[in-house]
Amino acid sequence: MLRIQQLVKRYGHDEPVLKGLDLEVPDESVVSIIGASGAGKSTLLRCINRLVEPTSGSIELNGAELTRLHGNELRKARRRIGMIFQGFNLVDRLTVMENVQCGRLGYIPYWRAALRKYSTEDIDRAYTLMERVGIAHYANKRADELSGGERQRVGVVRALMQNPEILLADEPTASLDPVSSRQIMELLQTLAQELQLPVLINIHNVAEAREYTQRIVGMRFGRLIFDGKPEDLDQSAMDTVYSGTPAEDRQQAEQDTSKAVVS
């Protein structure tokens, strides 16, 4: 269970990016976060894993208060939070297996990682996970030789190698073609059920949010202004989330909604 209470993030003396935000994400649930650019979606995810330091508020993961941790305790907590990035964040010159093993960096000494001294247990688990997502045959292939969808699958396995208690996905399909996007969203949906993991996805594509997540949270100007089931996200709710935002954001949201209705 992820529980966020009164979360605030302010940069300098500017207006807060996050304004007293409250959110709970139970186990085995897939929750999407929608909203225009600048709504605070990415900042929220980065506050959860402490890539960005919250200004105030509480972030609790399975009983552990993350905002109070520092040093080694913070390092241990971060390894329980799997992160999937829009830009994949792979090391292109390394093989798929080597990139996947980067998910173990929070658990093994640096010298072992530098010398690529992976344990038999970690190698076996990597193969099992790669087989599960369909990339085991690429184990010895360089990351820069893969397609976008394949690279994102490597990112998913790398996150799972952490044995995470939650998965955070920051625009995981934004760099992918439509077919690969659907495959990645289906994969995240299935993994949440199989591994009993909560998954929190920051996403611009409203159609994908409707189809692949159990709950949609809408953000605007650092606040949560919608929280409900996909079928509850009607045109009125869409207007509330995207009203007053740049025309291109509103247009894209409307297109995504139309796609969802057609499908």
Give the model confidence (pLDDT) of 20-42 as tens digits.
999 999 888 899 999 998 899 99
Quote the pLDDT of residue 109.
Answer: 80
Give the model confidence (pLDDT) of 160-180 as tens digits.
999 999 999 999 998 899 999
- Domain residue spans in the chain? 1-80+168-263, 89-163
Q: Judge whether residue 101 has pLDDT over 50.
A: yes
Quote the pLDDT of residue 262.
Answer: 41
Q: Judge whether residue 260 has pLDDT over 50.
A: no
Give the model confidence (pLDDT) of 112-166 as tens digits.
777 788 899 999 999 999 999 999 999 999 999 999 999 999 999 999 999 999 9
Q: What angle do CA 240, 244, 245 make, to 5 degrees?
A: 100
Q: What angle do CA 168, 148, 146 make, to 5 degrees?
A: 120
CA distance 183 to 150: 10
Q: Judge whether residue 261 has pLDDT over 60.
A: no
pTM of the model: 0.88
Burial per residue of 57-77, b for 16 or more beta-carbon CB atoms within 10 angstroms, e otherwise: bebbbeeeebbebeeeeeeeb
Beta strand 81-84 pairing with 166-170: parallel
Mean pLDDT, to the nearest integer, of 75-96? 92
Residue with tokens 């509103």: 250
CA distance 173 to 181: 5
Quote the pLDDT of residue 87.
Answer: 87
Give the model confidence (pLDDT) of 38-61 as tens digits.
899 999 999 999 999 999 999 999
Give the model confidence (pLDDT) of 197-238 as tens digits.
999 999 999 999 999 999 999 999 999 999 999 999 999 999
Fold of 1-80+168-263: Rossmann fold (3.40.50)
Tokens of 234: 């009607």
Contact yes or no for 260/209 (Cβ under 8 A): no
